[in-house]
Structure 1
Amino acid sequence: MDPVKDSKPIRRFPAIFPSLRQVSRVLHPKVLFAWENSVQYRASNTSWLDGLRGIAALQVYFFHFFGLHTHWGNPYGATPEDVYIHQLPLFRGIWAAGSAAVCIFFVISGFAITIKCLTLLRKGQHLACYESLASSLIRRGFRLYLPVVLVGIPGFFLMRTVDMVEAGTFSFEFERKNSTMEQLLDFVHRTDAHISPFTYAETHEFRDRYPYAPSAWTIPMEYYGSIVSYLTILFVSRIPAFKLRCAVIGFSSLYALHRGCWWASLFLNGMLLAEVMLEQRHRAATSEKHAAPTSRARHMFYQIPFVLMFAFGYYMGGVPPKVLPFDFHPIPRVGYQWLYTLYPPFWMFEMQEDTRWLWYWSGMFIIIGISQVPWLRRVPESTFCQWLGKLSFSLYLVHPAIIAVLKPHLDRFIDGSGAGKGVKCAFDFITLTPICFIVAAVTERWIDQPSVTFARWFEKRITRQETEKSIELPLGRQLEMEEQAPLVERIWPEEEEGKEPSDALLGSPGSSQRRASHDRIS
């Protein structure tokens, strides 16, 4: 008997099983939440900004979510009913600091889009700086507005098919039109008005509202702040003295704040912070060999003012506005009332919203404090915060629509059980938060990253003639230009490939999957 002929054939699994394995891989939590190959953490002097952007985006989400479950304008003790622990200033800085988080976005954006050019200027590489500036200017509009428009398209369909007004302040009744054609025309008109660079940004979010992605009211301010930063780079590019450069940038920021352009002022503050940190790094490197050993006590004494600055900025982040246009009569804001006496006269700083002055300085104090205290930077440098930074722009854009669509249904479901406010809030949070992060991960992969890729492709496409010219240069000249290209050790991962360090609110750590999140946000 031939064992070969009589042996039974080996059974193979049906072809459906490989597809099931693929589905299981797609549904793996690391894939659903965009954790896989996304957080390639590398220690650097600026990685904490990536994580801080992620924390700020999470604060905006908390602000919008918990603001629907409580009177966010009422701190602890404002009324006899407001006696909950989450209303204390210690906790309001976590969930009620969404407006201060927007200010943090703008400072980080100003830092991110200018530090490369400032580094090149310090090396005397003016030609490379101008080329980098032109490249950033070409890509910036696509990087900011393309994800907003692509996220606005499903927002248009949701506006026609779902009642998004019921949840609260994300959509209004007048924004829902009577027919699909009217809604489509409104979508086109509002999208054109929102992304147009020839329309001056309004100073109040409700006047520049984009209902199909409500949180995108900050994106025109991001773009205008970027343009101001680029022009300031050109202005200071021929100024060799560090102190004079800082004086020019600081005066420009102060004048922008005087005119009420707080977003442009914050961008310039981010640029000024980048210049100061580069100078600190330079002095530390040049005086390293000759510097006397510094005692631990002296080092800690140096950090005390910055720790206090961070703590005060955190405290101010939870301050409610003195008057809410959609709220009832103004009431004393216990624990914050004395801050309202710090408002400057309108003729000095033309702030359309008084409390914006306090949120402005809250964001500034938080970033300055963290930048000078190494142990404060450990939290945003953590892997979790770096992951948050990757999803920050997408999370910032998509969470209002998710809350508006799903929260009313969740409330009706839990209302039948007779649960209290606390149980209802916890149920909504546990249900909506994973959904928001999953949708943000999908948006980051299929909208955010392709937007960055398209911007790079568009830049290479329209500058192809210049690229061909550079190839015809003599070999010696080509080598000279290549030697000028490298920057410092690592500023942003995009810079290693010649890309623009994105903003935004805007941040994600290295690898091709991290490229999309640095612009923005936020």
Structure 2
Amino acid sequence: MEDRKRWLDGLRGIAAAIVAWFHFTLGEMKIPYRGFWDEPVEQNHHFIQLPPFRMPFAGKAMVTLFFVISGYSVPLAIIRLRGQNNNSDCYRKLTSSVIRRCFRLYLPVIVVCMISQMLFFMGAYYSWSFSKKEGCPNAPPWSAIWGHLRCFALSLLSALGFVEAEFASGLNPQLWTMLIELKGSFAIYLAIIGLITATPNTRLMILALLNALFLYFGFQESFCFFSGLLLAELDVLNQVHLRAIAPVTHKAPSKKSRLPPAATLALFAGGIYLLCLPYRETALEDYWYSSKLSVLPFWDHPIKRISTWWSIGSVMLVAAIRSLPCVKDMLESPIARFLGEISFPLYLLHQTFIRVLRNPILNGVCWRFWGMSFEATRADEAGSHVYYLSWMIAAAFIIPLLLVSATVMTRTVDRRSISLAHQVEDWFSGR
């Protein structure tokens, strides 16, 4: 089981890095976000527009991959204990997981909200233009303390689901995923309890039926979490089967592919393709995957349709990687493992670094070497070399600083939140 955890961490880390890069380039780089069939056609001759080369810019799709990974990894340690000591070990692990999940998700969120609010108070966001649903419009820098406190409180309440996120996303719009992660985890815990006495085949059939219903009715987030749970159940059942036949065959249990190699590779390639499908704010109905399908009447919104295809791609990718040792080895490489260790702080912190540092660096480089603003340099074909230089300098400055900060936060906040959760658990249980 531990090897699965390692490659899952690597996959999560790479997904977090893609999300950070997506937000770093979004709105400024145009070509990577164009569909290959977009108009005008003469601009569609770049490999970066095609899968798998588009993957570094598939930030929105990576969110669905996060949900599948959580659905797979959250229940593994729990269902592995099912059937032991009359399920008492399983119950104890489950209750412990519920408490730790809350602290694991929200203590780092509080710290990030505090950091970003302090920077906003000091005027560090001066170069960033917020949308109507973001920022703190009633809290100017260096004044209106109550306005800043209110913005900070609304950001936390939004992440907890007590207020509508669209009215209170504040300085960290990426926190909308926190509530979905919490609700998805709790739904998985409830499913584990409800199916704890079911036979393995019954459990698999019920989970498969639930996933079919979630997919049909367009609940793509639930589909991601419960697909992850189904894959975890299949793997635990496979491990139990291998351990059972080992004494009979007198051979050490070996891991076998669940699908023929060709089918596994096709599943992997299909998942990559769906995750690379581009997102557009308008004219989504032009895409084949956004067309109205009579058999799927509940996919009633273009964004829901593309998100559902991304969800299907995420499930396909995780399902395939389970049977691809070469891909798992890459996901267990030192770089992937490092990104996996800092993935959560990296996801939480990246928006703050981008919004505070990116635009001043881009503008500063362009003024220094071309005598124009970043916007003017981008429009001037003769200044294209300075335009690209500004991106390289911004990336060279922000990326190391972000990685170091995420590492520090992992050690000082993320790990300590888990330790605090264990202390609270001991206090609740009287230990």
Smaller-chain TM-score bracket: 0.7 to 0.9
Q: Which residue of 2 aligns with 1:460?
A: 426
After TM superposition, the structure 1 stretch with the greater mean CA deviation from structure 2, 146-155 or 181-190, is 181-190
Which residue of the partner structure matches residue 314 of structure 2?
A: 363
**1:194-216 deviations in Å (ceiling 9; x for gaps):** 325xx59x7xxx63763233221
The whole-number CA distance in structure 2 between the counterparts of 1:405 and 1:158 is 8
Question: Which position in structure 1 is the counterpart of 2:156?
Answer: 191
SS in 2 for 1:89: coil
Q: Distance in 1 between matches of 2:117 and 2:309?
A: 35
Following superposition, the deviation at residue 252 of structure 1 comes to 2.4
User: Which range is displaced more, 455-464 or 74-83?
Assistant: 74-83
User: Which residue of 216, 240, 254 maps to 1:282?
Assistant: 240
Sort the Cα spacing of 1:43 and 1:139 in 2 relative to 1 into closer, same or farther, 3 A: closer
Change (3 A) 1:182 1:229: same
User: Structure 1 CA distance, aligned partners of 2:122 and 2:320?
Assistant: 46
Provide TM-score, normalisation by structure 2.
0.84
Distance 1:446 1:213, change over 3 A: farther
Aligned-partner residue type, residue 429 of structure 2: T
Residue pairs, 1:400-411, within 5 angstroms: 400-411=351-362
Give the total of aligned pairs. Answer: 404
Deviation of 1:69 (Å) = 2.9
Letter in 2 for 1:384: I
Q: Counterparts in 2 of 1:45-60, with a 5 A limit?
A: 45-60=4-19
Q: How many Å separate the matches in 1 of 2:131 and 2:24? A: 11
Letter in 1 for 2:311: Y
Match of 2:406 among 418, 433, 440: 440
Aligned to 1:507: none
Q: Which runs of 5+ in 1 are unaligned?
A: 1-41, 468-522
Distance 1:175 1:285 in 2: 57
Q: Give CA deviations for 1:130-159 in whole Å, capped at 9, x if unaligned.
A: 111111112221111111011100111222
AA matched with 2:189: Y
- For structure 2, the 5+ residue unaligned runs are 371-382
Matched, 1:238 2:197: yes
More RCO (CA 8 Å, sep 6+): 1
- Give the equivalent residue in structure 2 for 1:118: 79
For residues 476-513 of structure 1, the C-alpha deviation after alignment (integer angstroms, 9 at most, x for no partner) is xxxxxxxxxxxxxxxxxxxxxxxxxxxxxxxxxxxxxx
Shifted more, 71-80 versus 276-285: the winner is 71-80
Aligned to 1:74: 34
Which amino acid letter does the alignment assign opposite residue 75 of structure 1?
G
Taking only aligned residues, the RMSD between alpha carbons, in angstroms, comes to: 3.0
* CA positional deviation for 1:344: 6.6
Q: Give matches, 1:87-106, under 5 Å.
A: 87-93=49-55, 95-106=56-67
Residues 209 and 303 of structure 1: CA distance in aligned 2, closer, same or farther (over 3 Å): farther
Cα deviation for residue 163 of structure 1 reads 5.4
The alpha carbon displacement at 1:62 in A equals 1.7
Q: Which residue is equivalent to 1:153?
A: 114
1:20 is aligned to: none
- After superposition, the Cα gap between the structure-2 partners of 1:432 and 1:441, relative to the gap in structure 1 and judged at 3 Å, is same
Q: For residues 153-201 of structure 1, what are the alpha-carbon distances to aligned partners after superposition, in whole Å with 9 as ceiling and x for unaligned?
A: 01112222235374466896663324332121232233234325xx59x
- Give the drift of 1:330: 3.2
Give the whole-Å Cα distance in 2 for the aligned partners of 1:273 and 1:300: 11
1:262 positional shift: 2.2
Whether the aligned pair in 1 keeps the contact of 2:158 and 2:176 (CA below 8 Å) is no
Q: Does 1:255 align with 2:220?
A: no
Distance 1:73 1:188 in 2: 34
Q: CA separation of 1:161/1:49 partners in 2, compared to 1, >3 Å: closer, same or farther?
A: same
Residue number in structure 2 paired with 1:385: 336
Q: C-alpha displacement at 1:127, in angstroms?
A: 1.2
Q: Name the CA shift for 1:249/1:409 in 2 (closer, same or farther; >3 Å).
A: same
Separation in 1, partners of 2:429, 2:4: 33
Is 1:316 aligned to residue 274 of structure 2? yes
* In structure 2, C-alpha distance between the alignment counterparts of 1:191 and 1:450, rounded to whole Å: 20
In structure 1, what is the Cα distance between the partners aligned to 2:288 and 2:117?
Answer: 44
| Equivalent-residue separation in structure 2 for 1:147 and 1:170 (angstroms) | 25
Match of 1:46, SS state, is helix
Q: Alignment partner of 1:69: what SS?
A: coil
The percentage of aligned residue pairs carrying the same residue is 25
Q: Residues 98 and 291 (structure 1 numbering): CA distance in 2 closer, same or farther, change over 3 Å?
A: farther
